[in-house]
Structure 1
Amino acid sequence: MSPVIETDRLILRPVAVGDYEDLCALLADPGFFRHIFPQALNAEEAWFRLLRDIGHWQVMGYGNWTIRTRDDGRYVGSVGLLNYHRIVEPAFDAPEIGWGLSPVFQGKGMAFEAAAAVVAWAEQHLKADRLVCMISPDNAPSLALAGRLGFAPYADTTYKGDAVILLERLSHEGLGNVAGH
């Protein structure tokens, strides 16, 4: 069970220490963090996130993948399967999927390509019959992407004081028109 995933344009590898500089730049980019954090994360906070992501793989056997382009290795962002024990109602009872791409790569289908590959990986390797995700109601592109991936809303709630939509995807939904998956 190799945690490296390759798609037509992308290589997904578990987050590693070598991703730190790229992660710092991403977490400071307003085009990235505006729907996720109230403000940019500094280098210390980026380091803690990196350590959290590396540890997640060690403990859970899954986690965040760094997304890089196949042709030249440029840092695209991350996509992952998560178990963060979030304090949210209703509580998550399935692996959570999350994604985030650098604005340079948004709108090019790369988030869909990476997330679809991770959904397929989860169904094959984790035997996950359900995945969940949490998206800000103001994040129309991520809501549209979740819909393309087969996610449907099941609850409106708050997380850390902000409105969020909880969505779920059942494995019998299939990946429909996802080429190569």
Structure 2
Amino acid sequence: TERLILRGHTAEDAGHSFALWSHPTTARFIGPIAASPGDAWLRMLRYPGLWAVLGFGYWAVFEKSSGDFVGECGFADFHRDISPSLRGIPELGYALMPDFHGKGFASEMVRGAQGWIDQARNRPRCAAIIDPANTASIRV
């Protein structure tokens, strides 16, 4: 995108992933994801499997100008037990480090991810689950 680089995760991203998913602001609407660096490592190890099995997955997101880690964004099929079912529909997810909130980065990374899946995967439909209290994500 104009300000962001979306790329596949590497082993060097484990610390970034832990900082993101263990932060109370990130967990506010989705619950704690990474209680330890090991939890974040295991989460990050799943990302290549998404790409290999589904043809889509998550990216690590960095600011072009500074090289700073912004967050993660991408798609998955979590096989959630909900109705209506989302099985087979790419489910969008994203999270940003708190320093990048309120600056348009979430909208930019989501537009980039959506543009990619629309073109590369020719997917007419995606989904996102948002807590109604998360007004910032609703705006995205």
Same fold (TM over 0.5): yes
| Alignment match, 2:139 | 144
Q: Give the Cα–Cα distance (whole angstroms) in 2 for the partners of residues 52 and 75 of structure 1.
A: 19
Q: Give the Cα–Cα distance (whole angstroms) in 2 for the partners of residues 97 and 91 of structure 1.
A: 15
Q: Is the Cα–Cα contact under 8 Å of residues 33 and 40 in structure 1 kept in the other structure? A: no
Q: Is the Cα–Cα contact under 8 Å of residues 30 and 40 in structure 1 kept in the other structure? A: no
Q: Give the Cα–Cα distance (whole angstroms) in 2 for the partners of residues 33 and 41 of structure 1.
A: 10
1:24 to 15, 18, 21: 18
1:54 CA drift (Å) = 2.1
1:131 CA drift (Å) = 0.7
Cα deviation, 1:19-59, whole Å, max 9, x if unaligned, reads: 10111111121111111115753212111110111221122
Q: How many residues end up aligned between the 2 structures? A: 139
| Alignment match, 2:104 | 109
Give the TM-score of the pair, scaled to structure 2: 0.92
- Structure 2 unmatched ranges of 5 or more: none
More strand by share: 1
| Alignment match, 1:61 | 55
Q: Which amino acid aligns with 2:98?
A: P
| Alignment match, 2:94 | 99
| Alignment match, 1:128 | 123
C-alpha root-mean-square deviation of aligned residues, in Å?
1.4
Larger radius of gyration: 1
| Alignment match, 2:81 | 87
1:101 CA drift (Å) = 0.4
Of all paired residues, the percent bearing the same amino acid is 36
Q: Is the Cα–Cα contact under 8 Å of residues 27 and 42 in structure 1 kept in the other structure? A: no
Q: 1:12 to 1:38 in 2, by over 3 A?
A: closer
Q: Give the Cα–Cα distance (whole angstroms) in 2 for the partners of residues 39 and 27 of structure 1.
A: 5
Q: Give the Cα–Cα distance (whole angstroms) in 2 for the partners of residues 99 and 71 of structure 1.
A: 21
Give the TM-score of the pair, scaled to structure 1: 0.73
Relative contact order (C-alpha < 8 Å, sep 6+): which is higher? 2
Cα deviation, 1:125-150, whole Å, max 9, x if unaligned, reads: 110111101011111100111xxxxx
